[in-house]
Amino acid sequence: MSELLQLSVLLPWILAMLLGIFVGATPGLTATMAVALIVPISYHMSATAGLAMIIGVSFTAIFAGDIPATWLRIPGTPASAAATLDGFQLARKRRGNFALMIDLLCSSIGGIIGVATLIVIAPQLAKFALKFGDYEYFWLGVFGLSMSAMVTMGQTSKGLMAAVIGVLISTVGQDVVSNAHRYTFDNIDALAGLHFIPVMIGLFGVAEVLRNVQGEQTLGSSSGTGERTSFLSTIPEIWKRKWLVVKSALLGTIIGALPGAGADVAAWGAYGLAKTTSKDSEKFGTGAVDGVVAPTSANNAAVAGAWIPALVFGVPGDAVTAIVLGVLMVHGIRPGPMLFEEGGAQIQSIFSVALITQVLLIPCGWLGIRAFGLIQMLPRRVVLAAVLVFSTVGAYAINNSMFDVGVMVAFGIVGFFLEACLVPVVPLILGLILGPLVEEKLRAGLIASSGDFTPFLTRPICVCLIALLVLAFAGKPALRLLQRRKSES
Amino acid sequence: MTETNTPAHSPPPPDDPTPESVGFSEFTGTLSYGVFLCILGASAIYFAKDFRAIALSQSDPGPRAIPVACGVIMIIGGLWQFAVAWRKRQQSQTDRDQLPVPSELSVDETKQRRRGNLRALVTLGLLIGYVILLPTFGFIVATIVFGILVLKNFGSPWSEAVIATASISAVVYVLFVNLFQVMLPQAIQQLQFF
């Protein structure tokens, strides 16, 4: 705990949070991208400082996305899309700062509830996770891959295929079991496989810049700011809605914990729940404070929720935690149930960082709201050019290798193409992360069972996971069929 | 947490004010994705035959198992995308028959799209050029040239392009080299101006 308060940790932590505010508040730049940009820097810090930077940036970027959503009706991140409704309507009524202050406080409270749930649930889940063997992990990996595609809003088949592409990419390099060189084409740099950070920077950073440059007609535009509101004046408003905050945060945590689902799904889910259970549902969309409170409490809680499968099973719940898992491994921390058994200090450190981040979010977010006007004075084209340079240097800095920069550019083109085809790229990233787990566990399981596939299908936890998988894919169509038959009869 | 700006997996707000997708039409996008999947899948299977492996256990499915499985799934998925694209085309033709006026892009919109496509293409070309020149000219020269050209491509006036490039280069240099002790690419000896 005392290490967290040292200047060598606190300073980069706060700077990273401020970067998170800047990136999150800039439409087109996502929280994932903010984390991907901070990773090369975190490699050169101590494990605690690196972790603090990444946790800090992920939470602040999600909050900061609400700033342009409220003022300009342009969500900074997809998780902030719900803020374009009531937050923006409040801004039109000259209450934009009031909406953002409520937003900030609810983000912080939502994050605390999410982290508290993580602290309570994760160790219990870890005890259960110790019962997992190769067979169970294989199905868990398949489940994670499938879920990431399932939640891609009507693009399931495209998402599933993107996940398969990710798995295929994960096979590049030297096979650890047989030493076979897979898709290396005699390139020595490719023997270690494709580092997922350049892939991430390419898919999110470069592709996003290209998309913006192609679509945006006013790259030189900048925006202004609004009125001032006292931070303390928002506390009574939130107190009136305390149960809505708790309800939305818990829902956000649960959704965040599902692999592939995330802050954007959580925000819309909480907004929908708040609207359907509200007595004044007709006021939603016209500047209802409830419509600001619910999604913002949920999206930050979802960030914490995504850490549950990441820490307990080593299976990332989203792209941000996927990057974080990589960073943890670089610093010698192996996520999984054993982390809770053996890495007490490390897990305490992660929990402490996550909790303190929620507190630090308030001053950093306040600064962000105030500074938004100044930052937005920069022409958008300058920000995009800076992202390209930063992405290139960031990819290079990981291994001091131009090969990684090439990988970044290649995946920038792939990401741009996939986005143009309306293909979600997040399943691809999860495929890249979960691919080695699925392959390793499949092969280890088959070797252990002398080639017999039966244990994969008969062990109790495997059966449960297969049932969940079938339910996830067949449940909705079956329900629809049932309803159609009912209406016909 | 699904965290990208892809319109495909972020549920759009009911009255989303952001401009329409700058990508392909749904038909072209699905068809192109199908072609991409088939080519990638077939390549994955073809190149997997070259894997030289030392068999450690009879029970191990080997290094080819997952890549080949992925290749097969991708080909099937690609064919599925063709079917989806075909169905969408049929559907859109039916819808068009029912619509009173076919929706066409205006001349201005077509021009804007072309300009946008060209700008993205030039940006990509400049980025590739930057990556190629980086090891030869080093970080400072390559970044200054790239920064100015890319900002001019984005429509910046000369003064803004020069000042912004100098600021970006300085910030990145100080951050990575001075603060984090990262060695950025150096120019080859014959071209070392700095």
Please report, for chain B, the start and end positions of each structural domain, with discontinuous segments joined by +. Answer: 26-98, 107-191
Amino acid making up residue B30: T
pLDDT at A331 over 80: no
More confident residue, A263 or A246: A246
Q: Do A397 and B12 touch (CB under 8 A)?
A: no
| Whether residue A277 is found in the same domain as residue A390 | yes
d(CA A292, CA A304): 20
In this structure, the answer to whether residues A367 and A382 fall within a common structural domain is: yes
A192 and A304 housed in the same domain: yes
Specify the number of domains making up chain A: 2
> What is residue A167's predicted lDDT score, i.e. its pLDDT?
93
Same structural domain, A390 and A469: no
pLDDT value of position B19: 38
Minimal Cα–Cα distance from A419 to chain B, Å? 6
Q: What's the confidence (pLDDT) of residue A223?
A: 45
CA distance A346 to B135: 39
- Residue A72: predicted pLDDT: 65
CB contact under 8 A, B131 and A413: no
Whether A345 has a pLDDT exceeding 50, the answer reads yes
pLDDT of residue A203: 83
The model's confidence at residue A214, banded by pLDDT at 50, 70 and 90, is confident
The boundaries of the domain holding residue A463 are 459-489
Nearest to B57 among A209, A317, A447 (CB): A447
Q: Which of A58, A63, A53 is nearest to A32 (CA)?
A: A58
Q: Are A429 and A480 contained in the same domain?
A: no
Query: Which of the pair, A80 or A368, is modelled with greater confidence?
Result: A368
* Contacts with B59 from chain A: Cβ below 8 Å: 446-447, 449-451
Same domain, A280 and A169: yes
The answer to whether the CB of A333 falls within 8 A of the CB of B17 is no
Predicted confidence at residue A456, as pLDDT, reads 92
Which residues in A131-180 belong to E strands, given as ranges? Answer: 173-174
Q: Could you tell me if A372 and A478 lie in one domain?
A: no
Give the residue, A341 or A89, on which the prediction is more confident.
Answer: A89
| Residue A172: per-residue pLDDT | 94
Highest mean pLDDT pick, A240-244, A419-423, B40-44: B40-44
A173: confidence class by pLDDT, cuts 50, 70, 90? very high
Cβ atoms within 10 Å of A86's Cβ, excluding its own: 25
ipTM for the complex? 0.82
Spell out, as residue ranges, where chain B has pLDDT lower than 50: 1-21
Beta-carbon separation of A424 and B6 below 8 A: yes
Output the pLDDT for position A375. 57
| Co-location of A402 and A471 in the same domain | no
A176-195: pLDDT as tens digits:
888 889 999 988 889 988 88
- Are A426 and A476 in the same domain? no
pLDDT digits (tens, 9 = 90+) for B115-133: 888 899 999 999 999 999 9
Inter-chain contact B13–A81, Cβ cutoff 8 Å?
Answer: yes
Alpha-helix runs per DSSP H in A290-425: 290-305, 307-313, 319-330, 337-342, 344-375, 380-399, 402-420
* Domain shared by A177 and A96, yes or no: yes
Is A255:A309 a contact under the CB 8 Å cutoff? no
With an 8 Å Cβ cutoff, is B75 touching chain A?
no
Copy the structure tokens of residue A481. 């069929």
Query: Are residue A241 and residue A361 in the same domain, yes or no?
Result: yes
Q: In this predicted structure, what is the pLDDT of residue B103?
A: 53
CA quadruple A181, A187, A188, A191: dihedral, nearest 10:
-40
Direct distance between the N- and C-terminal alpha carbons of chain A, in angstroms, rounded to an integer: 65
Both A398 and A488 in one domain: the answer is no
User: What pLDDT was estimated at residue A233?
Assistant: 81
- pLDDT score of B3: 36
pLDDT tens-digit profile of A24-68? 776 556 677 778 778 877 777 788 888 888 888 888 888 888 887
